[in-house]
Amino acid sequence: MARARPADPITTALESALTALAQAPHHGLRRLTAPARTRLTDSAAALQRAGLHTAARLIRDLVTVLHRDGATAAVPAWVDAQIQLAVSLELHAEGAQGRDTAGNPDG
């Protein structure tokens, strides 16, 4: 039985950011707690360190719009970030899967 490989830094950063984004509407963008805002900010920093600059910028934009303009104005920024992160994670996983099966005639 093959052991699962540990998640790479890109997967870890994307999954963490998606979790932080999912928690935001759960708490309500209008009543977003300080720890939830910190998780978003920390996620943006992790994405930046992983080289995912666009994703990091979208999270930072969300935090900025939320602080400056409020919850209603932040909804499009949340959607943009959610789509970017979800697609990035899926494409990254497909790329990793392709690398795992390269050279494997059964893959």
Q: What is the pLDDT of residue 107?
A: 46
pLDDT tens digits, 31-49: 889 999 999 999 999 999 9
Please tell me the predicted confidence (pLDDT) of residue 102.
Answer: 59
The pLDDT tens digits for 51-104 are: 999 999 999 999 999 999 999 999 999 999 999 999 999 999 998 777 666 555
Task: Indicate the pTM of the whole model.
Answer: 0.83
Distances (CA, A) of 80 to 5, 8, 10, 59, 92: 30, 24, 19, 9, 18
